[in-house]
Every structure is written in C-alpha cells, then in structure tokens.
Structure 1
C-alpha cells in the first residue's frame, strides 16, 4: 500500500496508508484521545475530498472505519472514525472532543467543506446528530439505531440529508421512522434503510455502502459532485444486486420495499422502468403476499403490545405487585419461543418486544433504585428486572443489598444463587455489596460462592 505524510496542527508528521486504515491519530488539544483515518487508494492532496466522521459507542475507530471502507473506496470518501468511548464520558465532554477532532481534520486535510457528513450507531448516532446542530455546513447525517433532535438548533434554510438505519430486530426501529418523518416534514432530503440486526449493532459493509449512496446522489443532484453516468450506473447496479440477493433468499417483501425506496432515491436518474419491472416480478412471487400480510399483522400487534406493556409495567411497579412477576416471566418466555418459531415477521417482532421490555424495565429500575421510593418498590422493580433480563447482574446485586439491609437474608441468598447461576464471577463485587456486610461473613453466603466459583473469601 502507498503511504503519504500528514502534518497536524502541532506540526507533527504521521505516515498515512492509502487504501487502508491508519489508527491512533491524535486529536489536537485532547490528550489521550485519538481517531482512525481511512483514505482511498487514489487519494491525493491535490483535490478536495468529501468526508464522513463516524462514531461508535465503544470508540472502536479502526473497526468502524473498516466498516465504511467499501463505500468510501467506491464512492471516494475519507473516513475519520473516533476512538472516543462514548459510554465512559459525559455528553459535554464528548461533544468537545468530537468537535476538536472535526476541526483538526478539516484544517489538516484537503476537505470539501460542502461535503462534510457524520455517521454513528446508538450513542454514536446521537453524537453525529448533535454535531449537525453545531457545524452549520453539515451536508448529511447517517443515524443507526438512534438519533437526536433539538428543534431550536435546526435551520430550515440550511437543510442537510438525514439517513436513518434500523435493525429489523431493534425496538428503536419506530423511533428511527419518527426521525425520518420529522425531517420529511422539514423538507430535508431523507432516506431509510433496514437491515437484519438488533439494537447496538452496526449493519454490514454492503448496507453501509448502499446508505452512503444517499449522500453521494444528493451531492450530485445539488451540483456538489460531478454527474458521471457510468459512476451513477455502478451505484444503481450495486443496490439492485443487493435487492436481488434479498429476492433470491426469498425475502420477497424486504426486496420489494428496498426497490420501492430505490424508486424515490433514483427518480432523477431514469431508472424507473428497471425498478418497476423488478417490483412487478417480485410482487408476483408466491411468497410475497403472505410475507406482506404477516409483516403488517405483526406490526399492528406489536404497537398495541408495547402500549399494554408500558401501562401494565408502571401499574405493577406503583403497587409492588409481586403476584404478577410470574406473568412477566411468562411473557418473556413466550417471546423467546417466538424468536425461533414464528417466521421472520413474528421473530423480528419478538426481538423488538424483548428489547423494548428490557429498555423500559431498565429505565424504571434506574429511576426507582436511586429515588426515595419505599424499599418494597425498589425490591419489586429489581425482581422485575431479573424476570425480564435474567442476565442483568445489577438487579441481582441490588436485591441482595436491599434484602440484606431489610434483614431478609433468605431472599438475599436466594438471589445470590440465581446470580451465580447466570455465570457471574466478579468476586470483588460479591464482597462489596452495600448494606450486606453482615451477610457476606455468614457461612451460607460463602458456601454458595464456593459452590459456583470454586472458592470464597471466608470459610474455605
């Protein structure tokens, strides 16, 4: 691979690999913060380039830049991918570091200021969306699984493209659709993509590349990029190939919906007849109608179920209705079964409902355990969490803490064993539970730990 030298604002020189990812480049003014950079194989400093700044929740800059590599190489983008751990820092600090990264790159590399984009997943999608409120010349945002809007900072006279992506198993799929509708109402250019994935997952490189064509085609339409018929034809054929893959794997409804969105996306480039012919072919497939009906039925049921879950969960928490814990566990078990035995539409719905239950119960848990609510409410919401998410150690530890403080060692020991059955092995956490000092010195407590972990701190 060819390399070239890049000097940052502090006159430090770094060797950058063309056609590859160069990691751990320092962010000016932010000690210990870095980013990864991808440049296409034909990169030259003699021209200005479009750029996408990407944000992963865990700061996996190298991996994220590599994910965008396919689209960046084919569509000629630079990718600057943050190594900021978004889960470990407050939002004001994150925005400060992200802004410093953007400014450093924009002042160091030959960037086309009219083609600056951001992209992110989960918390990274929120950061990428927020940056559009700060950088007034933003050309587009790609938000995967989440987003952020502050209407006070959105300028209707300075629109940017919003591309929403959501996993078919992600309960945030409807939130993404709401964000797209918001931007549609603002008359901003939009696009939406669905992929086979859950919350907190990136789509495949092919899906990312297809989504990037939204930025590219919009830039061509607005005159920011040269209109090259051969280049546009290649973009179109790549997306058609993806739709054909869906058809060949008998995902007829997904293929049809993909083509339907392509019709809008490519409407200015005279591909209508090709798309319409393929849509007619798919619509005539034997499985299309049943898949469409199953999808619509699942969506209708799911939305009603979400509303019911939210209402019942809050009612049970308010009354600390321990008798209904079994009902919630039953709901989870039934959804788990549906994940593998209900067909694609119902399976995806089950994943989304489980994700939604996990999200709502965790939200209520976090609010209540840190509040001044009575101890029975706190114990109930903690027990409820273990019924909905059997692998959440925080809920088990909280029950042990609360039960011990309340003098109920039997309940504390019961949930200690349930926690250990999940495979929990953090010995330090087990011996540093708030309010459980007397319990951890008991023989029963230590014998349970030794039974599952092979050793204990006391009574060995």
Structure 2
C-alpha cells in the first residue's frame, strides 16, 4: 500500500488507499491499521517538533497485553524531551508464541518505517517487565535494531546473543525490584561479550520508571548515536547533559544515597568517554568511594547481596520440592518466610528494607511463573496447581483470584471442608462479588449446601438459597 505523508499546521496527515487519517503531534494516536489486509493496529506518538523534512529516531514500546496506547503514555514526556517518535503494537501478547509476536512486530516495523522519515540506525525497542524481556529478543530476529531499553526486566535469553549482532542495552530498574540483582549480573555478561550497555538504577520497586529515568535512557542512546557518527555531534547537548548528570550525582550523595551516586558515576565513565576527559568523573568517584558513608553502605550491601542470593536458592529448592510432592504441610514454612521478609521491610536500615522488598517480589514472581508453566501443560497437574494457589494466598493474602481457584478445584474433588475454609478466608478479606461466587466453576453442588450459604449469609448478609432449620 502506497503511503504519502503531508505536514499540516497541527499535525501530519496519513493518506493511504483505504484511509485518510490526521496524525496530530504531541498526542497518542490509537488504532492505526498496519495494512489493509490484516486486522492489526498500532499506536503512534509524534513529538510536537516533528518535521517531515528530517529523519527521526523511533522507539517501539511493547506491552504484552496489547495495550499500545497505555505503553506510549508512559513514554510520551521522555520522547518529547529527547525528540523520539514512539510506536506500539496493540496485538503482541504473552498468549502468543515468540514467533507469532515477532511476525506482528516485523509488520508494524515495516509500516512505521515506510510511513515516516525514520533515521537510518535509529530504530530502538523497549518495554516494561514482560514487554521488556520480549524487547531484548527482537534484535536477534529483526535486523536493524540499534538498542534496547528494558525496564524492570533483564535479557530474556543470554544464549541467543552473539557478538556478531550486538545492540546497545540499557536496563532501567528499581533497587527494590526483584530483578535488580539479575540485572547487575546481566550487565557483567554483556560487558564480557562487548555489548555496549548501561544499567540505570532508581529508588523504587517493580514499576514503570519515572519520566526522568526514561529520558535519561533516550539521552544515552542519542549520545551513543553521536559517538558512532549516526547523527551530527552537538557539543552544546553533550555539555549540558554532562553538567546535569554531575548535579544529579551530588543530589544523590546529599540525600545519603552514595551507592546510587556511585552507580551513576560508573555509567558516566562509559557514556562520556567519547566526548570529554574523564579525570573529573574519576576524581569524583574516588572521593565518593573513600567516604565513610559509602564504605559503610557498600559493606552492608555486599553482605546483604550474599544473604539474598542464599535465600533465593532456598526458595527455588523448596518450591520445586513442594510442587513435586504436593507438600501442603510446608505452607507453614512459607508463612514463616513471609513473616521474616516483613521483619526485613520494617528494619530501620534502608538497605535491609530494600532487600526484604526484593525478596517478597521474587517469591511472587517465582510462584506466578510456575503457575503459568503448569497451566500450559497437557494434561494439567491440578493438585500441583492447587498447592501453588494455596501458596499464593500465603504470599499475596489479598489476591481474591487465588481463593476462588482453590474453592473451584477442591469442590471439584469433593473436598468440601477445604473449599469452605477458603471461602470463609476469602469473605473475611472483604470479597463481596456474590454473583461471581454463585457462578464459580465446579461448585454447583457445594453452593446449595447449608454450610456454603450460611457463610454467604454471615458475611454478605444475603444468601441465594434459603437456610431451613428443621
């Protein structure tokens, strides 16, 4: 399909054989067709300064639930600040195979790069969590991807990487995120493989980075493009960002965050090496690392890192054993572990608090991953899944879905005592969806029992079936 792009006063008009759509600048445009023959759409964001007369870098952002508009909304301000076009598929999904998602991605790439004046060597990909992991696979299967910004996620498969096809990797992760430790390990692996890479650490958990962090990632990609000669060198841009980064380092140290300040100085050594003398950065880092504050926190962090890795090994070992043996008796041990993590999170020492949050997130992710794996098997091991749903009520006691799954499964196996126990636990937590409860799969016989309706009457004030006393 032939496409022509015209620049208007308020936006760009996309004229195709079957559509005539105005593409406004500075807003996310949703549901643009990939082509006339396939029911696939994407979202697009053009910066307010977008001009068809020059070439632009593009960041493709991935959300594995197909929420392209929401993904671009997270990136919009950063793209505006750094001058990037954004695009996101509405059809990639974690329910599809990698190959299917790659084909969808490739079609979107072709449409966007044909439709807009995209800079050569200016194609980048990004995403958060599952979207971030998927984005790290794209350069392996689609040529021409210059860099990846993975937020709250590490490289999906290090084994598929090759030094013959390197890309610039930027990891953006919170120091309370369960993927934080893995991100630091992947950074070392990529460095050994000669992949250009940086890890940007912010103060937070498993969440989308703030605009400032995303803007920092885009800035690094722009500086790298200048260093390669892909775009003209802008001395004023380099100087302004160099000075701004030093201000950020000083602010971090002033806020008693020397480890984050040191991380930033380390990345600055790589980022600005092509442009300036590194003496000031090296001197600042040397002075920081000699400070008592840094030495104390660094010593504590190293000890906690070892402790964290050992605890993770225990979690992995015992969870695997418990699943294989349907070890319901070990749910008490897991409850004790969650109580221990709560103690870490309430510890006066900030570094212990962060470790506790990382480990709590790690257990949740570990159990969720095992549930996904078992749910995809054929035949499904219902008993193993039931154990994991019970474990999920221990580690995420306010997750109503876990209780409903247990009630459904135990009713199916005629274990009404367990089903009623978890029903009451669910109602105690504040669950109020009566209609969903009475439509729950496999509970037809359970929900007409007096015990079931007595519990509903007790907590929700009204049962569907009357309770008759003889």
| TM-score normalised by length of structure 2 | 0.87
After TM superposition, list the pairs within 5 Å mapping 1:223-372 onto structure 2: 223-283=229-289, 285-367=291-373
After TM superposition, list the pairs within 5 Å mapping 1:155-170 onto structure 2: 156-170=163-177
Query: How many pairs were matched up?
Result: 459
C-alpha distance in 2, partners of 1:116/1:178?
Answer: 26
CA distances 1:31-55 after superposition (whole Å, capped 9, x unpaired): 6644333323322111111111111
SS in 2 for 1:459: coil
> Quick check: 1:113 aligned with 2:141?
no
Which consecutive residues of structure 1, in runs of 5 or more, have no partner in the other structure? none
> Quick check: 1:48 aligned with 2:55?
yes
The alpha-carbon deviation at position 286 of structure 1 amounts to 4.5
Q: In 2 relative to 1, CA 131–258 (structure 1 residues): closer, same or farther, beyond 3 Å?
A: same
- Kept in 2, the 8 Å contact 1:40–1:73? The answer is yes
- Kept in 1, the 8 Å contact 2:135–2:148? The answer is yes
With 428-437 and 40-49 compared, the bigger mean Cα shift is at 428-437
C-alpha distance in 1, partners of 2:396/2:305?
Answer: 23
What is the root-mean-square deviation in Å for CA atoms of aligned residues? 2.9
Partner of 1:124: 131
CA distances 1:71-115 after superposition (whole Å, capped 9, x unpaired): 433432212233446356554443333222221110000011311
Q: Alignment partner for residue 430 of structure 1, among 433, 437, 440?
A: 437
After TM superposition, list the pairs within 5 Å mapping 1:1-16 onto structure 2: 3-7=10-14, 9-10=16-17, 12-16=19-23
CA distances 1:250-288 after superposition (whole Å, capped 9, x unpaired): 212211221122112211221523323432453355422
| TM-score normalised by length of structure 1 | 0.89
C-alpha distance in 1, partners of 2:412/2:438?
Answer: 15
After TM superposition, list the pairs within 5 Å mapping 1:21-60 onto structure 2: 21-29=28-36, 33-60=40-67
- Kept in 2, the 8 Å contact 1:38–1:65? The answer is yes
- Kept in 2, the 8 Å contact 1:382–1:398? The answer is yes
With 110-119 and 83-92 compared, the bigger mean Cα shift is at 83-92
SS in 2 for 1:41: coil
SS in 2 for 1:112: strand
C-alpha distance in 1, partners of 2:387/2:192?
Answer: 42
SS in 2 for 1:198: coil
Q: Alignment partner for residue 185 of structure 1, among 188, 192, 206?
A: 192
C-alpha distance in 2, partners of 1:377/1:92?
Answer: 29
With 341-350 and 373-382 compared, the bigger mean Cα shift is at 373-382
Q: In 2 relative to 1, CA 271–8 (structure 1 residues): closer, same or farther, beyond 3 Å?
A: farther
- Kept in 2, the 8 Å contact 1:332–1:354? The answer is yes
Partner of 1:133: 140
Q: In 2 relative to 1, CA 10–101 (structure 1 residues): closer, same or farther, beyond 3 Å?
A: farther
